């Protein structure tokens, strides 16, 4: 979208909340307009709910990948540190942005074919980031799992599920959750740090 109409942010946020609470299929343009506090004419810029869903998904994926890229850049070359960085970034994003996460994880199926292909490509990008790190760890002999693809899927699934159940007012802080999930992820890939080699005795 090039030139955004007045109230664009309010409209997109209203659509995000409505889709999250009601689901894309049962939300109407009128529901979104009422929630945003604008007239129906303010939504004529959009071709319909599909345009709004695309804008919401793009926004959520862009923000998530930005967080992951930043975390990976700071992690260095060690696969264990890279996996820790990806898990931490994912957990923090899912806890900080549960509505964005929920829409991205559940409403991609509502995209029309012309938009679905691009969305699937973005989905694959997220999976590829984890796959490359896990495979690198296996190749280097520090991840001992004989099932790297299954391990990757398990780690991604458990991190993504956080958006559905985590509550900030609960007994576990975000920092504690990050620590736990990093430990779980390293367990799933069967992480074994390289042994320190002692110099041979003369």
Are the CB atoms for 115 and 52 separated by under 8 Å? no
Residue 34 C-beta-side C-alpha neighbours within 13 Å? 6
How sure is the predictor about 198, in pLDDT bands with cuts at 50, 70 and 90? very low
pLDDT tens-digit profile of 86-121? 999 999 999 998 888 888 777 888 888 888 888 888
How sure is the predictor about 197, in pLDDT bands with cuts at 50, 70 and 90? very low
Are the CB atoms for 93 and 67 separated by under 8 Å? yes
Residue 201 has pLDDT above 70, yes or no: no
Residue 156 has pLDDT above 90, yes or no: yes
What pLDDT score was predicted for residue 195?
52
What pLDDT score was predicted for residue 162?
94
Task: Give CA–CA dist 171/198, Å, rounded.
Answer: 44
pLDDT tens-digit profile of 1-48? 445 655 778 888 899 888 888 888 889 888 998 998 888 877 777 778
- Quick one: which H or E segment has residue 125? helix 113-139
What pLDDT score was predicted for residue 51?
87
Please, what's the largest Cα pairwise distance for the chain?
A: 86
Residue 16 C-beta-side C-alpha neighbours within 13 Å? 21
- Entry pTM: 0.81
Residues of the chain with pLDDT > 90, as a percent, come to 46
What pLDDT score was predicted for residue 52?
87
Are the CB atoms for 174 and 180 separated by under 8 Å? no
Mean pLDDT computed over 162-182: 94
Task: Give CA–CA dist 81/65, Å, rounded.
Answer: 18
Query: Taking all residues of the chain, what is their mean pLDDT, rounded to a whole number?
Result: 87
pLDDT tens-digit profile of 43-64? 777 778 888 888 888 888 888 9
What pLDDT score was predicted for residue 3?
56
User: How crowded is residue 23: how many other Cβ atoms within 10 Å of its Cβ?
Assistant: 12
What pLDDT score was predicted for residue 134?
97
What pLDDT score was predicted for residue 111?
85
- Report which of 32, 90, 21 is spatially closest to residue 61, judged by C-alpha positions: 90
Are the CB atoms for 7 and 42 separated by under 8 Å? yes
Per-position DSSP letters for 159-173, written without gaps between them: HHTHHHH--TTSSS-
């Amino acid at each position: 979208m090039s030139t955004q109409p007045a109230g664009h942010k309010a409209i997109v946020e209203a659509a995000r909340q409505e889709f999250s609470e009601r689901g894309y299929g049962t939300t109407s343009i009128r529901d979104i307009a009422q929630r945003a506090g604008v007239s129906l004419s303010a939504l004529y810029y959009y071709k319909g709910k599909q345009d709004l869903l695309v804008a919401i998904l793009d926004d959520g994926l862009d923000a998530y990948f930005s967080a992951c890229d930043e975390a990976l850049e700071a992690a260095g070359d060690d696969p264990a540190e890279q996996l820790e960085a990806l898990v931490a970034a994912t957990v923090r994003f899912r806890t900080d942005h549960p509505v964005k996460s929920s829409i991205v994880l559940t409403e991609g199926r509502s995209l029309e074919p012309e938009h679905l292909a691009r969305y699937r490509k973005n989905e694959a990008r997220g999976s590829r980031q984890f796959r490359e790190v896990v495979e690198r760890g296996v190749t280097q002999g520090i991840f001992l799992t004989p099932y790297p693809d299954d391990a990757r899927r398990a780690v991604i699934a458990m991190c993504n599920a956080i958006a559905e159940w985590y509550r900030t007012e609960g007994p576990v802080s975000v920092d504690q959750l990050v620590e736990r999930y990093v430990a779980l992820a390293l367990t799933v890939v069967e992480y074994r740090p390289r042994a320190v080699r002692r110099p041979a005795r003369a």
